[in-house]
Amino acid sequence: MGLRVHHLNCGTMCPACARLINGDDGHGNKKGWLEAARMVCHVLLIETPKDGLVLVDTGIGTLDVETPKRLGTPFINLTRPKLDHQETAIAQVKALGYSVNDVRHIIVTHLDLDHASGLPDFPQAEVHVFKKEFDSAMHPDWRSKARYLPSQWAHSPRWVKHDADGGESWFGFEGMQPIAGLGEDILLIPLIGHTRGHCGIAVRSEKGWLLHAGDAYFHHGQLEAQPYMPAGIATFEKLVQTERNTRLRNLARLRELALDKAAGVQIFSAHDPVEFDRLAGL
């Protein structure tokens, strides 16, 4: 039997021009030019039988909700986040009847500020990350400094660094790494490109395999047989990528897997609201 998984939105963002960011509502209805877009921070809360709760990403955390300037003016102006305490992972964990210390593991797809902001809310949790991502975040080059915020790990998390080299194959993706202590139901899948140490997280849920692809892509239309995405989010995707060719190869493989209905893998990205609403049952 698979793990029980909760889909949480831990940070709503409302950039300008829904037509350029969302494009449509997932049912063919076009969004307006003057309408605010909607993006989410799609976080997984996983109940394990023996090792407490596991978070995949954290979204926007308490400290950054209370002091938005920590996130930086460029991020605030571009994404226009709602910054709602009730959307934080810690608030939603408590709303489900759990305590902070029940979250024993956090697995980050990468350490961009909108994925790691909630780390300080769970100071006792082990934080799992690919070593390449950890190194990039701790020693960023001039181009990466804006995406990594040292204040989000100033509490000295209990880092667990994983090597993306080697590993096994998972549905055609090479370098799969299981996480010690969590069995074979939660796996790290290298999806390099958006950042140098970006990964996807595969989870064997009660309904089959889920693949949280992080920022390996941004729009549900990218996984269609005839791929499409709005111009605004497409431009952003290219501006923030670090390894273009690797990103495109991983995106092509994600599309193949999404179209392979026999594989039975549900793939979703971190910020697409259409995918989130479908999986969260909204």
Render pLDDT for 187-244 as a digit per residue (tens, 0 to 9): 999 999 999 999 999 999 988 999 999 999 999 999 999 999 999 999 999 999 999 9
Show the tokens assigned to 11: 């940070």
Reported as type and span, the H/E element at residue 216 is none
Question: What pTM did the predictor assign?
Answer: 0.97
Note the pLDDT tens digit of each residue in 165-187. 777 899 999 999 888 878 789 99
**Angstrom distance (rounded) from CA 117 to CA 103:** 16
DSSP strand pairing (158-162 vs 53-56) = unpaired
Q: What is the CATH code of the structural domain delimited by 4-280?
A: 3.60.15.10
**Alpha-carbon distance 18 to 32, whole Å?**
6
Half-sphere exposure of 16 (CA within 13 A, CB side): 5
Pairing between β-strand 173-178 and β-strand 186-190 as defined by DSSP bridges: antiparallel
